Amino acid sequence: MTTPSTPPSSDFLRSLFDLSGRVAVVTGGTGVLGSEMARGLARAGARVAVMGRRTTQAEGVAAVIVNAGGEAMALPADVLDARQLTDARSRLLDTWGRPDILINAAGGNMPAATIPDDRSIFDLDLGAFGQVLDLNLAGTVRPSMVFGEAMARPAAGETPRGCIVNVSSMTVERAVTRVVGYSAGKAAMENFTRWLAVELARKFGEGLRVNAIAPGFFIGEQNRALLTQPDGSLTARGQSIVAHTPAGRFGEAHELVSTLVWLCGPGASFINGIVVPIDGGFSAFSGV
């Protein structure tokens, strides 16, 4: 009797994480975290469409990927504009065909939707609250509808397949002071992640999966001034966050990539409807 051969470890790992030939769209692909995700997907073999409202920045991220030997294109669009998203989908289909991966990394906050220490909930600007809620919820729902439809309803003879990964936040599980609009938007988006995972799999087949990652605290364009001083030292809020993170530091953008590639790859074929924290232990720590 012969013993089944075991493939070399490198081949085995490649079979789990290889994204060669996959087409990925990254919304918010011009941001600190989104651009790192785009580069990581390209390093795993995917062809990456970098989406953002700023054409020049999207072209810059795509150029970095191409110069490193990957395949990328700028796909500028506003995630809240259905017409722009539909046009972007048409450009993608004409260039590379249907998407296999959608990363919803677009989102964010604005000062008027936060509660400073010297004010209370009763001072909240509901107009700004609605804008932030829209950006983080509708800014995930709309791309999921537009690009998800291309995954679920492919050309004749093709099987529905695709992977959507949304980007949640630590503000969902626990109350984080000040960021009321952002927290509500991400909480709603996280519920939508689970709902869409069930909806697509039940109606279009197991080849469609929807999951999310929940980054801990990473320094980006929008929170830099809240967490660090101009000289790079931590603000009081930054110090409090690090003190409640067992790893004792903020995350680095590249530390999101391995989980993202796993969720998008063959190794996660039976993973659907989950949210994976990448937070240095923040969500596990009681503070005591």
Task: Give the containing element (helix H, strand E) for 101.
Answer: strand 101-104
Answer yes or no: is 7 within a domain: no
- The H or E element containing residue 40 is helix 32-43
**Structural domain for 230, as ranges:** 19-278
In a domain, 14, yes or no: no
The predicted structure's pLDDT at residue 21 = 94
Q: Is the pLDDT of residue 201 over 70?
A: yes
Instruction: Specify if 190 maps to a domain.
Output: yes
Rounded to an integer, the average pLDDT of 152-163 is 94
Kindly state whether residue 178 falls inside one of the protein's structural domains: yes
**How many domains does the chain fold into?**
1
Q: Is 182 a catalytic residue?
A: yes
Rounded CA-CA distance 226/219 in Å is: 9
Distance from CA of residue 161 to its chain's centroid? 19
pLDDT higher than threshold 60 for residue 198: yes
Beta bridge partners of 162: 208
288 in any annotated domain:
no
Read off the pLDDT band of 6 (50, 70, 90).
Answer: low
Query: What is the per-residue pLDDT for 5?
Result: 61
Catalytic residue among 182, 204, 217, 282: 182
How far separated are the first and last CA of the chain, in Å rounded?
58
| Domain contains 1 | no
**DSSP per-residue letters across 157-220:** TPPP-EEEEEE--TTTTS--TT-HHHHHHHHHHHHHHHHHHHHHHHHH-TTEEEEEEEE--B--
The answer to whether residues 37 and 212 touch, using CB atoms and an 8 Å cutoff, is: no
Does residue 8 sit within a domain? no
Write the CATH number for 168.
Answer: 3.40.50.720
Q: Are strands 47-50 and 23-27 parallel, antiparallel or unpaired?
A: parallel
> Per the domain annotation, does 12 fall within a domain?
no
